[in-house]
Structures are given as C-alpha cells and as structure tokens.
Amino acid sequence: MKTTNLGYPRIGSNRALKKALENYWSGKATLVDLEETAKNIRTENWLLQQEKGIDIIPSNDFSLYDQVLDMCMTVNAIPKRYTALQQKNHATQDLYFAMARGIQKDGIDLTAMEMTKWFDTNYHYIVPEFYKNQAFSYCNSKIVDEYKEALALGIKTKPVLIGPVSFLLLGKEKENGFDRIDLLPNLLPTYLKIIKELSALNVEHIQFDEPFLATDLTNKDREAIRYTYQTIADKFPDLKIILANYFDCFGENLDTVLELPVHTLHLDLVRCKLQLDDILSSKKLNKNTHLSLGVIDGRNIWKNNFEDSLALIQKAIAHVGEERITIAPSCSLLHSPCDLDLETNETNLSAEVKQWLAFAKQKLEEVNTLRNFITKVNLSKTLEKVNENSAANAERKISKSIHNPKVKDRVKALTKKDDQRLNGFTQRKIIQQKALNLPLYPTTTIGSFPQTKEVRSQRANFKKGNTTPEAYHSFIEKETRETIAFQENIGLDVLVHGEFERNDMVEYFGEQLDGFAFTSFGWVQSYGSRCVKPPVIYGDVSRENPMTVFWSSFAQSITDKPVKGMLTGPVTILQWSFVRNDQPRSETCTQIALAIRDEVVDLEKAGLSIIQIDEPAIREGLPLRKEDWKTYLDWAVKAFRISASGVKDETQIHTHMCYSEFNDIIEHIAAMDADVITIECSRSQMELLDVFREFKYPNEIGPGVYDIHSPRVPDRSEMVALIEKAKEYIAPEHLWVNPDCGLKTRHWDETKKALIEMVAAAQECRQRVAVSH
Ligand SMILES: CN1c2c(nc(N)[nH]c2=O)NC[C@@H]1CNc1ccc(C(=O)N[C@@H](CCC(=O)N[C@@H](CCC(=O)N[C@@H](CCC(=O)O)C(=O)O)C(=O)O)C(=O)O)cc1
Ligand SMILES: N[C@@H](CCS)C(=O)O
Ligand SMILES: [Zn+2]
C-alpha cells in the first residue's frame, strides 16, 4: 500500500514566495533572486514529503502565480493582446505576470486576464481565454523542468497536470459561435507531446486533475473525458495515469469514470464518503484499477479521525486488496496552512485548540500513520500516534469551550420576522432617498483603502508590543482622517472609514468573536502573492462587545457626508474561516448571523445611516452539484437576512460581492433584499450584467467600473463606457458607481488617480442624462 499527496502549499512556511514576488515586482529583486526562492521552496517541499513518508510525491504543483496560468503558458493559450510582449525581447516572466496582473509600462498598456474562484475555495485562478478554432502548441517546459529538478535531488516525482477537459472547462469562450470543449482535438496533441517528453524521462505516474468530474457534466463533456484518457492510455500503455477528482463525488459521471483505462482513481472521501460503497460495489470497477483514498481533509485544519478513516480504508482493502490502495489527502494541500509547529503563541491558539488541529505538514504525517497502522510498520510508535489521535478527538467532543447554551437557545428562538425588514424595498427606497438625498449615480467605494507598508508595519509593531496602543490608535486615526478628507475633496457621495484598523475582513472579526481562534502563521494562498490567515471556528459563536462601532462612528463624526458602516457577512465569515466539522455549517452560519445582526443594530444606534454587509463568498459557497443548491441557498440567504433585518427602514443596507458569476442564482441574490448591491464587473466588461436582460433586479446596483486587482489606472472614458453599458441593463436611478472591490491592495497614487477619474466619469454620465432630458 502506497501513500501520495496531490499538491503541497507553495508559498513557503514563512511566505517566502510572497515576499520574493513582491520584491521582484517592485524592482527590489531580480528574476534570478525570485527563481532562487522558488527553487528553495520546491526543494524544501519535496524533501519534507519524502521525510514524512510520502511515496508518490507531486511535482509541477509549484507555481509562481497560478497553476491554470502555468497551463496556459505551457500549451500556448496566450491571448493575442500579449503578442507585443512575446515579440519585444521581454523575458517570459514579464509576459506571464502581465497575463496575471496587467501591465502599464514603456508605452505598453494591457489588461490582465480574468481571475475567478477555484471551485468552492477561496483560491483564485486565472481564467483561460478561448477562441474559435484556436490552435495550441507545446511552448513552455516547466512541467519537465520541475520533474528533472526533483530527479536531481533523487526524487522521482509524479507530475501534476490540470487535465485537458478541466482546462477547457475552466476557461471562457471569448467569441461567439463555438463551444470550448470542441477545442479538445486541437489541445490534446499538445498534452501528448508533454507526456511523451515525460515518458522519455521514465516518468512512472502522471496525475491528471479533472475536478470538473465533481460537477454536473454534459454527455459531450463526458465523451471528452472518455476520448482524452482512452487516447492517452492507447499512446502510453505503460504510463500510470492517476485521475484525480476532488471537492465532491463523481455523481452521474461515475459510470464514465469507472470505464476509463486509468491506473488509479483518486476519491475525495472527506467531501463524499458514500461514493466508496458505490465504487466498490460497482460491476464496472476494473479489477486492476487502483484507488487513491482521500481520507485526510485537504481543506480544513482538524485532526483526522483515524477511527473513521481506518474503517474506510479497511473496507476498500476488503474489496480490492491492499496492493491497489493508496492513502492520500482529499485534495491538494494548497488550501491548508503549512505547519502547526510554528504556532507557539498561546494567546492566539490555546494548547487546547492546538491539539485538535493538523496543518499541511501534520497531514502528511497522518497519511503515513494510517498506512503504517494498516501495514503494521513501526507498530508501537504508530499505535501511540493512533491513541493520541483518538484521545484528542475525544477531548474535543466534550470540551466545555465549544458549547454555549445561550447561543444555541438564541438560534432556536428565531422566528420568521427576524429575517425580514419592516417594509419592502419600494417603500424603503422612498424613505431612504428622503433621508440620504443622494444624486443620480451615487459614487462610493467598497470599504478598504490602501493597506500600505506603513499601515501593516504599524500593526505588526503594535502586535509585537513595540508600539504603544496610544501610538497605534493615533496612527489609525490619522489615516482615517486623511482618507475621509480625500474622499470629501474628490466629491465621493458615500464615504467609508478605510478599514485601516483591520488586518483582514474575516480575521479581524474572528479575533473579536467568541468561538474563534486564530493563528500566527496559518497563511493560505488566495491569489498570486496574496495570502489570508483564516480564523478557526471551534465553538459556538457570540459577540461580547461591538467590533466596528468605534472607527465607523469616529469617521462619521468628522464629515457631513454619509459614511458606510462596514461589516463582513455571516456566509463570508463562515466560508473564509476553517469551520468546525462537528455540526452543520448552516448552524454555525446562523450563530455568526446573530453576532453580525447585533453589530448592525449597534452601528445604526451610533448614527450610521448606511451599513454594508459584505458577502463576496456567497457564490463561492454554492455546492458544486445543482441538486444541493437549494438547501444551501435557503440557509445562506436566510443568514444574511437575519444579519440585516434588525434595523429601521431609513437605514440603507448594502452588500458587496466580488468574482460572482451569479446569473444562475440571481433570484436568491435578490432575495437577500439588500437595498444596494455592489458587484465585480469590470474585467468581464459588464458581461455579468447579461442576466438583467431577463431578470429585473428589484433593488439598486453598483456594477464595479474599475478593476482593483490590477495596478493599471483606468481611463475616464473606459469607465463612462462601462456606466453607459450598465445603463442598458439597469435603470439609471438604480445605478451606483464604484470600483469592483476594496482598494487595500492598491497604492495610494493609483487609487487617487483612479477615484478622481471615477467621480468625473459619474459626473459626465449625470450630465449626459441631464442633457438628454
Ligand atoms: C477580498 N478577498 C479576501 C478573501 N479572503 C479573505 N480572508 N480576505 C479578503 O480580503 N478572498 C477573496 C479576496 C482575495 N483578496 C485578497 C486581497 C488582499 C489580500 C491581502 O492583502 N493579504 C495580505 C495579508 C493581509 C493580512 O492579514 N495582513 C496582516 C498581516 C500583515 C503582515 O504580513 N505583516 C508582516 C509584517 C509587516 C511589516 O512589518 O511591514 C508579517 O507579519 O510578517 C495585517 O495587515 O496586519 C497579504 O499581504 O497577502 C488577501 C486576499
Ligand atoms: N469591504 C471589503 C470587501 C472586500 S470583498 C474591502 O473593501 O476590502
Ligand atoms: Zn470584494
């Protein structure tokens, strides 16, 4: 019986990659420096996995920015607009980062490729762009180079490739009149070339990730899967193909998958245990197919329950024999923090909670312990580990710090009226317009302003005790004052306080809510160099004290313009935290909703007439299979409504969503009944708004007019064009003008220029309306 891993975090346990990338982008480091850091991380990861007893170690799981972008580079799926960079003597990395982040340099001005959520995770990938009859070619040797690099360390790895079908499905058609899956015959020969080169190096296993197998595929997609793996198996009969599916079971795709001529099927048994019975009992299961049992949760941080995992493994062994079983995490460990051993700060993570957790490194140890237990290796040490595991899990179950009867009773006592505003939107709009007196196309921002180096380092010093609370407070006050003054000066209509006091929009709340723990080094990559440190929800959630009232009401006290109170919504806090696995997510979400509701009411009492409850993760939390959508949407929408419904009609509730392809759930978004919703729209040129041709969204909308994920400053005319385009879908009196998302990742100079242009764009559009009347 073997052990394997699907992918290891690539940021480095101390976020070395983040630092190296940012130094390179800012010109403080060379490409050679960046590549050296990257190589060190790869080496550390391979050696660690070897040391922890992983037999089949992945390669090509490393990426400088994103694995989907890497695949675009590999197969030459490079949009034409970047040709200038391919020709002008630019390093390949300039092209690569321009595709990821856009470029405005030396007379070149190119937008970035779109970025969206990787299935239901908080990781973002770059969306491949596809064109009719597109040709592909093998044009980047990263996969082979990394294989050779590991080989030089004496490690024969398993290259990990995004499977061709998922690669196509992850992308977008950029012109009409074709279906991207029809590009498979053009794409597959390039994959075959890569495999040929790997085979020439005696690669034994290749892992093809086809996570679309966890979604509802069409017959045509399934045919594409059949064709792909039959072709690869025919051409490379000695290759051991590992077909990896994760985040849900194979569902309706199971029959197709069982008939494929692959060596190993990887199953996510954390998300879907029951599929094991279906697979083991299926007559279609080939007698030579191996099963990679993903029993260790790659997406959450709880210690594995060895008893449950061993039962699954034993069951599989009883059917197919030990030789055909591999033990693995459920998915790539990209979604886990690196190393629990770094957590030595008791004030963040108590010893009690820490003993319940396992990060990426510890998960590798768990994989190995399970294998050793079954195969009776190092028996006494292994038994000790198994016993430790059951003791920790047993203690967690009965721990007093988890259960709070008051919170449970409050959830039970909720009634229908708790998730309803007093009156409907039409009435509220009249009341709110009277109270707020906003112009046509009101301008606003999404909440955060630049989290500069200085802001971050003041906070870091304050946390370390090197800056006094008074000095930190004065600093945040100064930043907030300047930001309010700037917004007033440029003529924004609805202001924000800037979120300078917050490390992150989820962690900040987690630090103040009971039932949450937080880590010091539990970083997880979100996109490119950006990381998040998700808090850990281990117990019943409650709010003891107001969390945001101080800075919001301070900001409101220094301006006559309305300031938006700024909160993160219950679904997003849930989705971007590591969530307890001992009760349904819906239950935890409702508890958070009640805590946020109390905060909303307190903000209203403190004089904030507009309150934004951000829910960027509501779409991301949607189950991968449509049959599960309704249940999720019912409780998620209800949780938002609970959080928003404690206020008077005068109080305008906003929500914000980024990366939201919500055409298929628009009625549920409308059911959230926020007075105003601001959404991400600009990278897709307002494509998202197509849905409003058919569905009349009842409340107000601010489709983002500038892409804040790119350092590029948009032109006024571009924004005017976007506002005019939005007008085709949304009545002008329902339209707001705002960026796509918060400005925390931007520099002040870009922010200032862009917002001045944005306000001017709104003014120009107002004048156009005035003239046309
Ligand atoms: C809106 N988005 C968010 C998502 N998920 C979240 N949990 N939060 C989000 O905001 N998902 C979808 C998108 C993803 N977008 C982003 C955007 C930006 C970031 C980001 O900027 N991340 C920061 C880290 C943020 C943070 O926690 N900062 C802390 C710690 C700062 C730090 O690193 N300190 C240094 C010392 C600094 C010094 O001395 O100068 C240290 O500790 O070593 C803070 O500000 O206090 C990032 O830098 O990656 C993420 C997702
Ligand atoms: N209020 C947050 C939302 C990000 S999705 C911000 O502006 O950063
Ligand atoms: Zn956002």
Binding-site residue positions for L-homocysteine: 446-448, 499, 614
Question: 19 CA to middle of ligand 1, Å?
Answer: 12
Question: 427 CA to middle of ligand 2, Å?
Answer: 28
**Could you say which of 709, 734, 747, 773 is catalytic?**
709
For residue 451, the tally of other CB atoms under 10 A from its CB is 21
pLDDT at 88: 62
Contact 615, 638 (CB under 8 A): no
Whether 12 is in a domain gets the answer: yes
For residue 301, the tally of other CB atoms under 10 A from its CB is 25
Whether 393 is in a domain gets the answer: yes
pLDDT along the chain (773 residues), means of 10: 98 97 97 98 98 98 98 97 80 92 87 92 97 97 98 98 98 97 98 98 98 98 98 98 98 98 98 97 96 98 98 98 98 98 92 97 98 97 98 96 96 98 97 98 98 97 96 98 98 98 98 97 97 98 98 98 98 98 98 98 98 96 96 98 98 90 89 96 75 88 90 92 93 96 96 97 95 83
Ligand nearest to the CA of 678: 3
Give the residues across from 104 on adjacent strands.
109
Backbone angles phi, psi at 85, to 5 degrees: -75, -25
Question: 658 CA to middle of ligand 3, Å?
Answer: 4
Report the nearest atom of ligand 1 relative to the CA of 530: 49
Binding-site residue positions: 18, 117, 122, 446-448, 499, 530-531, 576, 614, 620, 656, 658, 680, 741
The CATH number that applies at residue 162 is 3.20.20.210
Instruction: Please give the Cα distance from 607 to 10 (Å, whole number).
Output: 45
Q: How many residues does the chain have?
A: 773
Contact 42, 150 (CB under 8 A): yes
Do the bridges between strand 205-209 and strand 158-162 make them parallel or antiparallel, or are there none, so unpaired?
Answer: parallel
**ipTM of the complex in this document:** 0.98
Whether 380 is in a domain gets the answer: yes
Give, for ligand 1, the residue of 504, 533, 571, 745 to mutate: max count of ligand atoms closer than 8 Å to Cβ: 504
Ligand nearest to the CA of 476: 1
Give the residues across from 117 on adjacent strands.
124
Task: Work out how many domains the chain is built from and give that number.
Answer: 1
Residues with CB under 5 A from ligand 3 (ion): 616, 658, 741
Residues with CB under 6 A from ligand 1: 18, 122, 451, 453, 456-457, 459-460, 503-507, 526, 530-533, 576, 616, 744-745
Question: 745 CA to middle of ligand 2, Å?
Answer: 10
What type of residue sits at position 553? Answer: S
Instruction: Please give the Cα distance from 576 to 116 (Å, whole number).
Output: 15
Ligand nearest to the CA of 118: 1
Q: Measured in whole angstroms, how far is the alpha carbon of residue 121 from the centre of its chain?
A: 4
Whether 661 is in a domain gets the answer: no
709 tagged catalytic: yes
Give, for ligand 1, the residue of 530, 614, 710 to mutate: max count of ligand atoms closer than 8 Å to Cβ: 530
Q: What is the pTM of this model?
A: 0.96
Position of tokens 């290891």? 8
Do the bridges between strand 530-532 and strand 524-527 make them parallel or antiparallel, or are there none, so unpaired?
Answer: antiparallel
What residues make up the domain containing 359?
2-398
Ligand nearest to the CA of 746: 1
pLDDT at 107: 84
Question: 190 CA to middle of ligand 2, Å?
Answer: 40
CB of 249 closer than 6 angstroms to any ligand 2 atom: no
Residue 12 token pair: 């480095």
CB of 164 closer than 6 angstroms to any ligand 2 atom: no
Q: Whose Cα sits closest to atom 43 in ligand 1?
A: 460
| Residue 79 Cα distances to 75, 113, 129, 130, angstroms | 12, 9, 7, 8
Q: Whose Cα sits closest to atom 3 in ligand 2?
A: 742
Whether 114 is in a domain gets the answer: yes
Give, for ligand 2, the residue of 445, 614, 654, 708 to mutate: max count of ligand atoms closer than 8 Å to Cβ: 614
Whether 301 is in a domain gets the answer: yes
Q: Whose Cα sits closest to atom 7 in ligand 2?
A: 742
Residue 200 token pair: 């020439």
Q: How many CA atoms lie within 13 A of 265 on its CB side?
A: 27
CB of 505 closer than 6 angstroms to any ligand 2 atom: yes
Q: Write out 173-235 in H/E/C secondary structure.
A: ECCCCCCHHHHHHHHHHHHHHHHHHHHHCCCCEEEEECHHHHCCCCHHHHHHHHHHHHHHHHH
Whether 687 is in a domain gets the answer: no
Binding-site residue positions for 5-methyltetrahydropteroyltri-L-glutamate: 18, 117, 122, 530-531, 576, 620
